[in-house]
Amino acid sequence: MKKIFYLLTLFLSTSLLAQDYTEYVNPFIGTSNYGATNPGAIAPRGMVSVVPFNTSGKGNKMEKDSDWLSFPYAYENTIFTGYSHVNLSGVGCPDLGAVIVMPTTGDLNIHPSEYGTTYSKETAKAGYYSNFLEKYQVATEVTATQRAGISKYKFPAGKANLLLNLGQALSNESGAMVKVVNDQEIEGMRMIGSFCYNNPKTIYPVYFVMKVNKKADRTGVWQQHNKIDGIEAQWMSAYNGQQRIIEDAYYPIIGDSLGAYFSYDFEEATEVEVKIGISYVSIENARENLEKEVSNVSFDEIANRAKDNWNEKLSRIEVEGGSDDDKTVFYTALYHSMIHPNVMSDVNGEYPEAKTRKTKKTDGERYTVFSLWDTYRNLHQLMTLVYPEQQLNMVNTMLDIYDETGWLPKWELNGTETFTMVGDPAAIVVADTYLRGLRGFDEQKAFEAILKSAYPVEGGNPVRPCVDNYIKYGYVPVEDELEDKLWGSVSTTLEYTVADWSIAQFAKELGDQEKYKEFYNRSMGYKKMFDKESNFLRPKHMDGKWHEPFDPAHGANFEHNIGYVEGNAYQYNLMVQYDIPGLVKQFGGSKAFVNRLDEIFEKDQFDMANEPDMAYPYAYNYIKGKEYKTQDKVIELREKYFTNKPDGIAGNDDTGTMSAWVVFSMMGFYPDAPSTPQYALTTPAFDKVTIKLDHDVWGTDELVIKKEGGNTNHIQSIKVNGKTKKGYFISHKDLVGAKEIVFHTK
């Protein structure tokens, strides 16, 4: 009997370990409706992603040169022009989408508008993508490690080509260098321009080494020559304004819109494997990344490693119950939350220093792609709870950036500061991480860094423009906006107050009562922008008068709107999550507050795709007797906007922010107030959720959340470790200290 029990236990343990969470990852979710995700192959936090590039060419419904496209792939499109190896996921501005490899057959053709092809048989999994190119009858497969990509092409017999296109990209730069090293290797560099095309001075290189397992029969490079008029045009009539092919050029070629090719004459169907290493430091590092991560390893082995790596990360949260679609939405969202920020350091620890791009070295991992205006609201709280080792790397990267530039990042990309969006979000992330109890970074340096951003400095504060007037008036006066000194005086004020609340709480935790009082008082400045006649937060002049005209509904759908950033007065009406009780008093009581909250939803003023109002569904929890509305609204929004379909994300994923919203919401708790270490509670989507915790960090191994009781979605009671809990909030300390939380539904 004991033997049978032992074997049964062993079988169950093995089955549990063998569970494939990647079965519930659908990388096509978010590839439509401007979700801006892609189905390409990527490892967790990978520097490299191998993505089907299908946003070039007039045959596509969505085309990068005729629209403001921020993504290399759109589900609606049909024309494929290669695989790009450096990409962004879920962003709202174009950049990267570079180092593109395209397989073709027949005579050499280097024009993307001509060599593009329709495709079929698309398959996408975590760390893997494949399709079939109709024009060329070529089956393709791709996978990736953190710093290298592998593609496999099954060519039919006859002429075949591998094109490395360095001219095509989503960047506003086209300069490059390419060198054919030999008949199996190409190396080079591609320049990348500014995110959102907003800074013509921002330019940096991405380096690559490409190796192929079959020797080419012919090699060459091509170059686009600019059109020249006048007498000089007569001397270069053969290639003036044209693309010139140079065969057997085994030396560096430098210029715009470059490319290189390998051509083959296959007597029979042949499989060709291409490996590309990437680095932001040097060609030598790209080669080392390639050799250390994919040398002497088969495509299938690397694909399996990618799958295993994703399974390890996804297995930190196990869900039971719910439909297969529910599980797919959940695990795909968890997958999307682990794409950015991504690794920037090479296998040897080297990375380009922010601003100067001098080579530096880290003992840990250097991260990049900090879309902090988005991610401070929920993604970093998810990382802190479930992946604390990653969150520590992110915070330490931010502090390194402070050392290198003198400022914490705002919207950092590959060592460049884009200054996209408003506010002081890094201060919020750093403080929130500390307040939730995650240590392992220099707290004194962190406090020094966030204080620097909070005050005026000689020459101007690049993180907080107009902070002098903000301190003087208690809000950012609309004059600063009208004089084009900043964007959205109301929105910027609210972002500054959230940051000041964060600094205050950090100071309190460090025992600095003077700074706590100073920044707490600053965080209450939102009240000066609250108009008690309309119950809206409104743009205000220096003399205390309200700016006119005022229409609270104006500004939806990204219309320009004085006072607000990508939104309107409704969508910023309650963006004071750190002081909802105080905001309720501004409204004159809970009845008026709930009426406005109802109005926002009933008049379709709530925008699920917009970060400032994404915590609003949880605001009902602050009003006793109205908590059921949070439960109803969260489920309604989740089922409407987050689905197992290509359009299954509510707009841009914003580097995992929308995905983090649905991950938390499906587990039954949400970090509604950054730098307030608490979670608002709601009905879980699953019967059971098991979160595996880092014992060294949280002092316990797991948290189990259960849903039991009736068939409704309304909560009757909540028990923590068997004891009935009052209210619909739980502190972070109590959450990680709870072995079991049970939601009893009616």
The DSSP secondary structure of 510-577, one letter per residue, reads HT-HHHHHHHHHHHGGGGGGEETTTTEE--B-TTSPBPSS--TTTTGGG---TT-SSS-TTTTTT--G
And the tokens for 469? 């007037």
* pLDDT tens digit sequence for 473-525: 999 999 999 999 999 999 999 999 999 999 999 999 999 999 999 999 999 99
- d(Cα 645, Cα 325) in Å, to the nearest integer? 9
* pLDDT tens digit sequence for 289-328: 999 999 999 999 999 999 999 999 999 999 999 999 999 9
What pLDDT is attached to residue 286? Answer: 99
Query: What integer is the mean pLDDT of 58-71?
Result: 77
Give the list of residues 6+ apart from residue 365 with CB closer than 8 angstroms, or none: 45, 343, 345, 393
β-pair type (740-745, 702-709): parallel
What pLDDT is attached to residue 228? Answer: 63
Radius of gyration of the chain (CA): 27
pLDDT band at 4 (very low <50, low <70, confident <90, very high): very low
pLDDT for 377 beyond 60? yes
pLDDT band at 243 (very low <50, low <70, confident <90, very high): confident
> Between 12 and 160, where is the model more confident?
160
What pLDDT is attached to residue 242? Answer: 72
* pTM (whole model) above 0.85: yes
pLDDT band at 15 (very low <50, low <70, confident <90, very high): very low
Integer angstrom CA distances of residue 179 from 261, 283, 313, 331: 11, 11, 38, 42
For residues 145 and 277, is the Cβ–Cβ distance under 8 A?
no
For residues 61 and 684, is the Cβ–Cβ distance under 8 A?
no
pLDDT for 376 beyond 80? yes
| Domains located in the chain, CATH noted | 30-311 (2.70.98.10), 315-344+608-746 (3.30.2080.10)
Question: Residue 51 burial by CB count (10 A; 0-12/13-18/19+): exposed, middle or buried?
Answer: buried
pLDDT band at 710 (very low <50, low <70, confident <90, very high): confident
What pLDDT is attached to residue 589? Answer: 98
Query: What integer is the mean pLDDT of 62-84?
Result: 88
Query: What integer is the mean pLDDT of 63-78?
Result: 85
What pLDDT is attached to residue 8? Answer: 39
For residues 163 and 81, is the Cβ–Cβ distance under 8 A?
no
Integer angstrom CA distances of residue 373 from 501, 523, 659: 16, 18, 15
pLDDT band at 229 (very low <50, low <70, confident <90, very high): low
And the tokens for 317? 């949260």
Q: How many CB atoms lie within 10 A of CB 681?
A: 26
CA 159, 164, 166: angle at the middle one, nearest 5?
A: 150
pLDDT for 14 beyond 60? no
Amino acid at 108: L
What pLDDT is attached to residue 60? Answer: 81
- d(Cα 288, Cα 336) in Å, to the nearest integer? 28
Q: What is the mean pLDDT of the chain?
A: 95
Query: What integer is the mean pLDDT of 425-454?
Result: 98
Q: What percent of the chain has pLDDT over 70?
A: 95
pLDDT band at 559 (very low <50, low <70, confident <90, very high): confident
Nearest to 412 by CA among 449, 377, 372: 372
Nearest to 162 by CA among 232, 108, 234: 108
pLDDT for 225 beyond 80? no
What pLDDT is attached to residue 280? Answer: 99
Give the list of residues 6+ apart from residue 610 with CB closer than 8 angstroms, or none: 566, 567, 571, 651
Identify the helix (H) or strand (E) that includes residue 452: helix 443-452
What pLDDT is attached to residue 226? Answer: 66
* pLDDT tens digit sequence for 378-416: 999 999 999 999 999 999 999 999 999 999 999 999 999
pLDDT for 3 beyond 70? no
What pLDDT is attached to residue 2? Answer: 35
> Between 57 and 559, where is the model more confident?
559
pLDDT for 350 beyond 70? yes
- HSE-CB of 50 using CA atoms within 13 angstroms: 32
What pLDDT is attached to residue 9? Answer: 39
How many helices (H) and strands (E) the chain has is answered by 20, 36
Nearest to 705 by CA among 741, 737, 745: 741
String of b and e for 560-574 (b: at least 16 CB within 10 Å)?
ebbbbbbbbbbbbbb
Q: CA 356 from chain center: how many Å?
A: 25
Give the list of residues 6+ apart from residue 716 with CB closer than 8 angstroms, or none: 709, 710, 744, 745, 746
Query: What integer is the mean pLDDT of 77-86?
Result: 97
- d(Cα 240, Cα 233) in Å, to the nearest integer? 7
